Amino acid sequence: MECVGFCPAGKVKVAMNTYNHSCYNRGYESYCCEPSYYTETTRLSDDIAAFQDALASYGANPTCSTTATRDLVGRDDSPVQQVKSFLTSFFLACNLDELQQLKGKIQVWDAWAVTTSRGTNPTRTSLVGWPATQRSGTRTSMTMEAMSQFLATFDLCAGDNFLCTEEGFDNQNLISGGGSDELKQWLQWKAQSRSIFGATDILVVGDWNTDDSIYDEALDNENVEDCEDCKINIESVVVEHSTNFHTEHIIELQSMSTFFAWLVTESSCNIDCQFFLKFFNKDVLKTTAMPGGYNSGVPSLRIMEALGSWSNTNQFRLLEKRLNGIKASLWSLDNLKAPDKWKAAYESAAPDEAITILKGVITVFSYLNYPSVWERLKATNALIRQELETAQDAYNDATGSQTKIADCWDQ
């Protein structure tokens, strides 16, 4: 049986029931009323109300992790399973009904997080700006860990009638250029998210040999105290006092996750699911060694290697840690200061705070235009593009696709 969800002529649809088991996950049942008179009431859906209760329950009696990880999904009590279900649903919201439910849960999460966290980091910010959250570490006690590793068994039929009609299920146009039964099932019935990039060790100041030339090329303001002086100066760092400097990727690590999140939304790039499912994290390339000798055949590993690594150390500089933090925030398109707090700093009789922020921003751009940094930035970008193009060409040759990853990177 398939429920069509229409109302008879002369009546108005005032509600939908997507949980009617008689529909067998095909469509939904409509509640219809005469348009002349009816009353409206608003309440949280059962799903969102259950999620709100789960958060309250977890906050009142949090459980310790039963695994080595600290993330919420590693805890097997019922309230946290509700939280896991919410986080998973972020990746699966594919129609208006599901998006509305997700928005409701985000509002519930935000209200709870603001009152229980040391800092405020609303869900909508965390979900979109995960690299920034990860970079900031303990900025808030409500960080959402390992988000790209959640697995789901979510029935898309419950929300989208078209995907689950016999006609819709057999419609090859749902998948660009057709596709395998496995891919069809992955798109239309069950959904899962997979980690695109894995974690890797990052060089810190103390990891460099004490005689490394990088210590002679550390970068900071020429005059830290002068608010008008935004010039960059090279200075030799005394090793025991090098904690004021951070090893920094000239092209920030979060660039890749941001790029791929954008890439899949651009139809002109011609990227498809099979690229990530069957190619990107596989040993599929016949390659030559990269700078430093690294020679993996896995596209994702080679791309991250291009950003800088233990073997490819030429892509790193030492940058004063305050400037490094400003650069990372600007790269993520984060506000350096909340708009209301910026207004207060701008209007303050003592403008030193606002001027310091402006000086930091100008200095970051001065740093990126510094001759030695600019040359390394161009070299790093060229190496990343080369690896993207290698992966693109190998995938196109193997599958007959016409992906344009390198061109889209240029955009």
| Mean pLDDT (whole number) for 8-32 | 63
Q: What b-and-e string marks burial along 260-293, b requiring 16 or more CB atoms within 10 Å of the CB? A: beebeeeeebbbbebbebbbbbeebbebeebeee
> Residue 61 pLDDT > 70, yes or no?
no
| Mean pLDDT (whole number) for 365-389 | 86
| Mean pLDDT (whole number) for 319-341 | 80
214: helix, strand or coil: helix
- Domain check: are 360 and 216 in the same one? yes
Q: What residues make up the domain containing 323?
A: 205-410
pLDDT band at 288 (very low <50, low <70, confident <90, very high): confident
Domain contains 391: yes
Taking the C-alpha atoms of residue 75 and residue 354, their distance in angstroms, rounded to an integer, is 43
Q: Model's pTM, two decimal places?
A: 0.50
Cβ atoms of residues 388 and 396 within 8 Å = no
> Residue 156 pLDDT > 80, yes or no?
no
Domain contains 306: yes
- Domain check: are 66 and 36 in the same one? no
Domain contains 200: no
pLDDT digits (tens, 9 = 90+) for 234-271: 666 665 566 677 777 788 877 887 888 888 888 888 88
Pick the residue with more confidence: 57 or 70?
A: 57
Block residue for tokens 């009638």: 161
pLDDT (0 to 100) of residue 337 = 74
Q: Tell me what percent of the residues of the chain surpass a pLDDT of 70.
A: 45
pLDDT digits (tens, 9 = 90+) for 263-273: 888 888 888 87
- Domain check: are 50 and 3 in the same one? no
pLDDT (0 to 100) of residue 400 = 87
pLDDT (0 to 100) of residue 16 = 65
pLDDT (0 to 100) of residue 64 = 46
- Domain check: are 213 and 103 in the same one? no
- Domain check: are 256 and 318 in the same one? yes
> Residue 406 pLDDT > 80, yes or no?
yes
- Domain check: are 102 and 237 in the same one? no
- Domain check: are 292 and 372 in the same one? yes
The continuous run of DSSP H or E covering 14 comes out as strand 12-17
CA atoms within 13 A on the CB side of 166: 2
> Residue 127 pLDDT > 70, yes or no?
no
DSSP state of 3: B
- Domain check: are 11 and 103 in the same one? no
Angle value at C-alpha 220, between 217 and 223, nearest 5 degrees: 130
pLDDT (0 to 100) of residue 262 = 84
Domain contains 122: yes
- Domain check: are 28 and 58 in the same one? no
